[in-house]
Amino acid sequence: MHELIDHPCVQHKLAIIRDEETGHKRFRELSKEITKFVCYEALKNIKVKKVTVKTPLADAICKKIDTDLVVVPILRAGVGMLEGILELVPTARVGFIGLYRDEDTKEPVTYYQRLPTQADGGTCIIIDPMLATGGSTVAAIDVLKAAGAGKIVVVCIVTCPEGLALVESEHPDVPVYAAAIDDRLDDRKYIVPGLGDAGDRLFGTSH
Ligand code: PRP
Ligand code: URA
């Protein structure tokens, strides 16, 4: 299952973040802003519990989040999305998975893993701006499932049909939420039109 967040406020920001003239400061701000909107949708079905709150006038029956949330940014570029989701769910805990795509094979290489233990019934949210071939996302889901994760949700900024197809065939139980589903991958397995190398644009590095 995947869902495109086609809201005008998200699409407006996406137009700016894609622009090659957008520098790393603005790119970072936009990653955070877009993430907040996409995560808002991705978390719409998490478990809540009813609570009674005393207003100055009477009791009000309210709802509070009743799910142990663990956010997992994929290093490096996923770090640019962390602030955005934590503004939405500030009590979430955070785990990290270090992965990079081998430049030649395009296969994911795992180099770091530090995950909190999660309560039964919790939800893990993987954040990574680019879901290209889908190899990195599948590898991250594999790591989380091996660590005992239950429900997993993926939030990205830009993806494409090839990547979605891989994730959906390998992990049909994991929904993907994205701000854009682009046309295709190029010969270097970059998303086209995409936004380029997200890690480099976020952190001001180059290959
Ligand atoms: C990028 C991106 C994803 C991965 C997507 O990371 O942030 O993790 O590529 O590609 P895939 O879907 O084909 O696996 P990259 O390997 O460039 O590492 P970085 O974040 O450290 O720059
Ligand atoms: N990684 C990126 O940063 N961009 C792409 O288009 C594909 C992988």
Q: Of 81, 96, 166, 98, which is closest to residue 131 (Cα–Cα)?
A: 166
By the 10 Å C-beta count (0-12 exposed, 13-18 middle, 19+ buried), 114 is classed as exposed
Kindly report the protein residue whose alpha carbon is nearest to atom 2 of ligand 1.
130
The residue whose CB lies within 8 Å of the most ligand 2 atoms, and thus the one to mutate among 197, 200, 207, is 197
**Ligand 2 nearest atom to the CA of residue 189, by list position:** 7
Cβ of 134 below 6 Å from ligand 1: yes
Question: pLDDT tens digit string along 131-184?
Answer: 999 999 999 999 999 999 989 999 999 999 999 999 999 999 999 999 999 999
Integer Cα distance of 202 and 207 in angstroms: 13
pLDDT value for 34 = 98
Identify the structural domains of the chain with CATH numbers, from first to last.
Answer: 2-203 (3.40.50.2020)
User: Which residue of 99, 104, 106, 143 sits with most ligand 1 atoms within 8 Å of its CB, as the best mutation to test the pocket?
Assistant: 99
Q: Separation of 194 CA from ligand 1 center, angstroms?
A: 13
pLDDT value at residue 118: 82
Residue nearest to atom 5 of ligand 2 (CA): 190
| pLDDT, one tens digit for every residue, the chain (207 residues) | 999 999 999 999 999 999 999 999 999 999 999 999 999 999 999 999 999 999 999 999 999 999 999 999 999 999 999 999 999 999 999 999 999 888 889 899 999 999 998 878 899 999 999 999 999 999 999 999 999 998 999 999 999 999 999 999 999 999 999 999 999 999 999 999 999 999 999 999 985
Q: What is the pLDDT of residue 202?
A: 97
Question: Maximum distance among all alpha carbons in the chain?
Answer: 65
Residue with CA nearest ligand 2 atom 2: 197
Confidence at residue 207, expressed as pLDDT on a 0 to 100 scale: 57
For residue 206, what pLDDT is reported?
A: 80
pLDDT at residue 42, as a whole number: 98
Looking at the CA of 206, name the nearest ligand. 1
